[in-house]
Structure 1
Amino acid sequence: MKKITQSEIVMEYFKNHPLRDIKHPEVVDWVTQEYKKRTGEIFRDPDRQIRKLHQQGLLIKVAKGVYRFDTNLVQSKNLQDFSEKQKKEILARDNYRCVMCGRGLKDGVELHVDHIKPKDQGGEATIENGQTLCSIHNFQKKNYNQTETGKKMFIRLYEKAKSIDDIQTMNFCAEILDVFERNNINGHIEWKK
């Protein structure tokens, strides 16, 4: 008898509960108990497995910690990765530097080629949808959406410029942050002038 994998047991739970918004704790409780019962082993990180299945396009993220399995939507997803040739072209176009902070390999920073529109939201593997990010900004983008990351970056830059009386940079950041506020983009992130 073939031993069940961790991803198979997670998918089993979601397939048995299709079209239902399911919170992490419910899935985690069942899969850890069921995996132990069937294999005698401990399922160490079910949250990571759920996120991985979402990144592969097999689960739909409804909200933070809430996922759904919908056969129709999952089957229609065509997740694309960049080819090695595309990665090289994107890195060269961006001068081998993170488009957020400007740091690169010469600074000892690990670089990633990232989908601007995430592939699990239909973003295609095209040169135009690619960007170079350092590992830190790639991680931040995955945890915040890109506009949140951008707004926070300009707030930090504004605060730094203010601390050294750099009026020109303060004015530059203020103009950009005003655009965020006028368009009600990420209004939950407060910027204090």
Structure 2
Amino acid sequence: MGQLDLIMEFFKANPNRDIAHPEVVDWVVKEYKERTGKVFRDPDRGIRSLHQQGKLIKVSKGVYRYDPNFTLHPNLEDFTPALKKQILERDGYACVICGAGEKEGVELHVDHIKPKDLGGKATLENGQTLCARHNFLKKNFNQTETGKKMFLRLLESAQEAGEMELVAFLEEVLSVYEKHGINGHVVWQKPHKD
């Protein structure tokens, strides 16, 4: 009995349910010991591996879901070479964030706007051209999007309450997002100094 098979057995018995790691880990560790007499090493890694293979959907940190309909088509999520070419042509063979392209010696990637591990489809509308740097930043900074939205909401309420010290702090935080070009699709209108 393979360890990944055992994890999938648990998820398949609980389809379309958001399940946190501890529930899965407790069951597979106990079940593996009963069936094989051996210790299940690192079930967390197994869950992540199944997600990377497209068999599980990551709902949030440490929470996964098995959707039989989603997993029947794991290969539909990658862009075909023809679609990649179409996206590159549409975007003028340049990064949609910084405008750099092959003529500047920059490696270009075709990126899913909504990530494929969150159900993003391989469509023209969900594709964008990014330079290697901005693709790397997007992958690693996408979790900061929630933070930026929170700071924007806090700024709005601080402005309404007239709390100028908090307003100044939040504007400074948001300017750091802008300075580093992070989550530029979440728009913040920087106030104009008169």
Pairwise TM-score range, normalised by the shorter structure: 0.5 to 0.7
TM-score under structure 2 length normalisation: 0.54
Give 2:52's aligned residue: 52
Give 1:125's aligned residue: 122
In structure 2, the gaps of 5 or more residues are 150-173
Give 1:155's aligned residue: 175
Change (3 A) 1:13 1:146: closer
Post-superposition CA distance 1:48-104 (Å, at most 9, x none): 314314xx2x33333322112243565588833221122122223323332223334
Q: Name which of 22, 27, 48 aligns with 2:24.
A: 27
TM-score under structure 1 length normalisation: 0.54
| One-letter amino acid of the counterpart of residue 46, structure 1 | G
Q: Following superposition of structure 1 onto structure 2, how do residues 182-193 of structure 1 map, counting pairs within 5 Å?
A: none
| One-letter amino acid of the counterpart of residue 23, structure 1 | A
| 1:65 aligns to 2:62 (yes or no) | yes
Task: Work out the CA distance in 2 between the residues paired with 1:155 and 1:66.
Answer: 32
Give 1:4's aligned residue: 2
| One-letter amino acid of the counterpart of residue 189, structure 2 | D
1:133 is displaced (CA, Å) by 1.7
1:41 is displaced (CA, Å) by 8.9
CA RMSD between the two structures: 4.4
1:131 is displaced (CA, Å) by 0.7
SS at match of 1:82: coil
* Percent of aligned positions that are identical: 53
SS at match of 2:76: coil
Task: Work out the CA distance in 2 between the residues paired with 1:75 and 1:128.
Answer: 23
